[in-house]
Amino acid sequence: MWKRKYLYPQTIPNVLSAGMCEPCAAGTYRSYRWANESDAECILCPENYYCPEGAIYPISCPAGEVSALGSQSAQQCQCPPGYGRYLLPNCTLCPRGYFSMTSRNAQYEQCPSNKTTVNVGSNNQSDCVCIPGHGTEDNLANSSCTLCPESSFAPRYKNEPCTFCGWGALSLTRSESESCQCNAMQGLHAK
């Protein structure tokens, strides 16, 4: 009769006590080993996922959030540019008059005084333009706009200085050249 041959624990190397196994570092994961991989190779966590220490699989960021390559925690999942958090836990599209240039977990930024954005979801401060009837001294995105004097106008939704209508004229809306008219209250008329 044949005898079974048993391997006793003392004959098998104990990899845990020898310090050979350890979890993958935060920002990496490992779920399996390919034939050509070493035992020590952990995979960098992909974009829009995070991997805490010892991760077996990448964990997806919440819907609508993004993360960088190698993210380590859910706190690194952030709203993408053009989105922010405002009174809600979820990312929301920046409304008109606001912008968000980077991925972040904060409220979106407001355009400078008397400026707005033409569209929602703005991801650049340069999208902030003067509101109708307002002009700027320079074309800088971070400059505010001021109300044009009554005898001048500024083009709608542009960062341009106010333009003088001409002697004896005033602007009814201050937002377009067609609003410049002779001041009838001073007895003036167009030739």
pLDDT digits (tens, 9 = 90+) for 79-127: 999 998 877 778 889 999 999 998 877 888 999 999 999 999 999 999 9
* 82 and 69 in a common domain: no
Residue 4 lies in a domain: no
- Give the pLDDT band (50/70/90) at residue 6: very low
Q: How far, in Å, CA of 39 to CA of 20, rounded? A: 9
With contact defined as beta carbons under 8 Å apart, do 138 and 116 qualify?
A: no
Please report which helix (H) or strand (E) contains residue 182, including its range: strand 180-182
Per-residue pLDDT at 2 exceeds 70: no
Residue 14 lies in a domain: no
* 169 and 155 in a common domain: yes
Residue 13 lies in a domain: no
Considering its fold, how many domains does the chain have in total?
Answer: 3
* 82 and 70 in a common domain: no
The structure's pTM equals 0.67
* 183 and 146 in a common domain: yes
Residue 113 lies in a domain: yes
Q: What is the dihedral of CA 84, 85, 91, 96, to 10 degrees?
A: -50
Q: What is the dihedral of CA 136, 137, 141, 145, to 10 degrees?
A: -30
* 84 and 119 in a common domain: yes
* 135 and 122 in a common domain: no
Which tens digits make up the pLDDT trace of 123-173? 999 999 999 889 888 877 788 899 988 788 888 888 888 888 776 666 666
Residue 2 lies in a domain: no
Residue 5 lies in a domain: no
* 142 and 87 in a common domain: no
Which tens digits make up the pLDDT trace of 164-173? 877 666 666 6
Q: How far, in Å, CA of 100 to CA of 84, rounded? A: 7
* 143 and 116 in a common domain: no
Q: How far, in Å, CA of 59 to CA of 78, rounded? A: 14
Give the residue numbers spanning the domain of 66.
24-30+39-74
* Residue 57: alpha-carbon gap to chain centroid: 27
Structure tokens at 184: 């009838």
Residue 160 lies in a domain: yes
